[in-house]
Amino acid sequence: MHMPNEVLSPAVAGGFIAASAAGLGLAAAGARRSFQESQVPLMGVMGAFVFAAQMVNFQILGATSGHLGGGVLLAILLGPHAAALVMAAILTVQCLIFNDGGLLALGCNAFNMGLVAPYFGYGLYRLILGRAEGQKSAGRLYLASFTGALVGVAASAAVVPVQIALSGMSAVPFGTFFPLMVGIHLLIGAVEGAITFAVVAYLAQVRPEVLGVQVAGRARLSRRAVVGSFAVLALLIAGLLSLVASGLPDGLDFLIEGRKFSRHAENEEAVDPTMAKVSAWQERTAPLPDYRAGEDSPAYWTSIAGLLGTLATLGVVYGIAAAVRRRDAQGHAHTH
């Protein structure tokens, strides 16, 4: 669901860059207030895990595909504020290194996947869980995880037709685009819900305190072992599982390119000149466009790109976590 530059106008792109910057600023402030030292390694590793998982598209309905978004999963494990920062880091790495998502569309992508999905999905997750205090049943925890992830994906997808329509780039009526976009992503969201459920179920069994809620169970693995298990899994997904990912277009590309729901699909002149120039610059400067060394590069380059991206995301997110920790420590020092 990474939007390209071509489906947006400069005004809409700029407006959402500003909105996302403001939202991420508030998220950073919120993350500092609720920050815990133990979150630093978990933030880095879960960012790397979500980056790797996003490389693996799974087939939907025989004509399109989807992949894990990860925003709600991150919110469940880290809180929505930290999740927003991690998602912004992932999207930035994907955009700058792999030309995955437009540079001027980064504000829209960060708004949709980095703000709407984590906050909306996590809000529903907490609503289903009920009051913060008291032990939660496993069934309620799993239902909340699945439903929050599913609805988070659908909510973020629902914003895309609005952004394209505001840009004047939609080639079909809003009443056609909107339900199809949301419908496809409800199916994708169901798979995301299942993955989120599986991760939460695993953590509930081996380290329930990571979830931040009281559930029946005892710690069978140390926190370090949990972090290590996700680090290994991220590397395996990026290095191996990415090779068997579906090559079908994702839900958004299927509609804007395959079904020609965007005006740019049939008429390149419909693209704003500024957006076209930025896209051309991105294609020239991205080190590993489309997760390859070039159009004719062998398949193993996908693994190399995935591993490099996973490590880059780990480093960027760890840096963000360290910065939040430092600002939090400074804030505490000023209050004493």
Helix (H, G, I), strand (E, B) or coil at 135: strand
| pLDDT level of residue 209 (50, 70, 90 thresholds) | confident
Cβ 158 vs Cβ 165: under 8 Å: no
Instruction: Please state the domain count of the chain.
Output: 1
Domain that holds residue 186: 5-334
**Mean pLDDT for the stretch of residues 169-173:** 97
Give pLDDT, residue 312. 98
Nearest-5° angle of CA 158, CA 160, CA 165?
110
Give pLDDT, residue 308. 98
| pLDDT level of residue 125 (50, 70, 90 thresholds) | very high
| pLDDT level of residue 17 (50, 70, 90 thresholds) | very high
Say yes or no to pLDDT of 325 above 60: yes
pLDDT tens, residue by residue, 189-208:
999 999 999 999 999 989 98
Give pLDDT, residue 293. 87
Show the DSSP H helices in the chain as ranges: 10-33, 39-54, 71-78, 80-98, 106-109, 117-129, 138-166, 174-206, 223-239, 251-253, 273-285, 300-334
Cβ 99 vs Cβ 282: under 8 Å: yes
Cβ 213 vs Cβ 194: under 8 Å: no
64-to-57, 188, 193, 246 alpha-carbon distances in Å? 9, 10, 18, 9
CATH number at residue 38: 1.10.1760.20
In angstroms and rounded to an integer, the radius of gyration of the C-alpha atoms of the chain is 20
pLDDT tens, residue by residue, 71-116:
999 999 999 999 999 999 999 999 999 999 999 999 999 999 999 9
**Strands 58-60 vs 64-66: parallel, antiparallel or unpaired:** antiparallel
Say yes or no to pLDDT of 329 above 70: no
pTM (predicted TM-score): 0.95
